[in-house]
Amino acid sequence: MNILILKFSAIGDIIQSVPAIRAVRKHFPSANIDLLVAEGYENILNNCPYVNKIISFKRPFKREYSISDLKYFVSFAKAIRNENYDLIIDLQRVARSYSLQLFALPLPQNLKMFQYFIYEILLPHRLKILNEIKFNDVEKYLSYLKDYNILESNNDKKLELWFSEEELKFACKFLNGYKINPHKDFLIGITPCVKWDSKKWGIKNYAKISNFLIKNYNATILIFGGQDEIHEVEETINIMKNEFTVNKEQNLPFPHHKVINVAGKTPTIIYAGALIKNCKLFISGDTGLLHVADAVGVKTISIWGATKPEVAGPLGNY
């Protein structure tokens, strides 16, 4: 049996699809199972034991295709078709994933996918259904498996994330470099960085809560961010320095050793996850690192704006 699972993006969604991927592996223990993700997301499940190979797909997000984009898409779909997959399981369920299947699947399955496409994407009633969704994304991806007659293990919602020895050694070396002992220190991870403005809580609030945790709980704060978020993390730390006071009578110096800037210092999101694994708590908005923390069993506090926590939030320790 040759199976392809589609889950293009994003970080949190791919992590939340793990229970569904695990259920597919349990249903087809001897099958070859490949996972198709968007370019840039290959590393998230790189060590996942449930998939044989991870394939990346360029330019999956553009809303307006150029001629070269369309040529690439058709060429890529033909390459997928040449892999002779017996089954393509779509956990993404957007126009792009349906289109890929229309090109990649043989005619009988093609027609079935076309029916799904009309029902899922084009019919107006879908908007009402989407607005009424109450179950979590983990449960949503598991529910999709019913369309492929994969019914067992749908109650196993546990998230998982895997690390290589190199990634774990990186985390250990990083913490040792700052003389942090995760077994003794109250280590808290925070990221003020969220992609969408509607999901942002504001760096002043993260600075305030970080100072509170340092003063009242002697916490050590790891502040995470990507390469393009370094400035945002630096601004957060500057606000912490400017507003740090123990009380009105005391003006103690800012405890620099208690705040570690991690922004841009981890090669991939999984290296960041190896660091987060050592934290006692992780605080953020609706972002990929929140789901990383949930997947590695770290308790989370999350701040929500435009998205619904009951749908997109963690099911685990929060």
Q: Is the pLDDT of residue 32 over 50?
A: yes
What are the tokens at 74?
Answer: 């058709």
Domain segments of the chain as ranges: 2-148, 165-312
- Maximal C-alpha separation, the chain: 78
pLDDT digits (tens, 9 = 90+) for 56-114: 988 644 556 677 878 888 889 889 999 999 999 999 988 788 888 877 776 555 555 55
Residue 182, pLDDT score: 93
Q: Does domain 2-148 have CATH number 3.40.50.2000?
A: yes
* Domain spanning 165-312: CATH 3.40.50.2000: yes
Partners of 260 in the β-ladder: 222
The gap from C-alpha 76 to its chain's centroid, in whole angstroms, comes to: 25
Cis peptide before 10 (omega within 30 of 0): yes
Q: Cβ(216)–Cβ(246) under 8 Å? A: no
The residue whose two tokens read 């003389």 is 179
> Exposed, middle or buried: residue 64 (CB in 10 Å: 0-12, 13-18, 19+)?
exposed
Band of pLDDT at residue 136, cut at 50, 70 and 90 = confident
Q: What is the DSSP string of 230-255?
A: HHHHHHHHHHHHHH--S-SS--PPP-
Residue 94 DSSP SS3? coil
Same fold flag, 2-148 and 165-312: yes
As a whole number of angstroms, the distance between CA 110 and CA 103 comes to 8
pLDDT digits over 226-283, tens only?
Answer: 999 999 999 999 999 998 876 555 667 889 999 999 999 999 999 999 999 999 999 9
pLDDT, tens digit (0-9, with 9 covering 90-100), for 137-185: 899 999 999 988 997 656 789 999 999 999 999 999 999 999 999 999 9
Q: Which of 12, 5, 6, 8 is nearest to 196 (CA)?
A: 12
- pLDDT value at position 107? 54
Confidence band of 305 (pLDDT split at 50, 70, 90):
confident
pLDDT, residue 316, reads 60
**Torsion on CA atoms 28, 32, 38, 40, rounded to nearest 10:** 110
CA–CA separation, 203 and 17 (whole Å): 30
Among 138, 21, 37, 40, smallest CA distance to 96 is for 37
Confidence band for 128, pLDDT divided at 50, 70 and 90:
very low
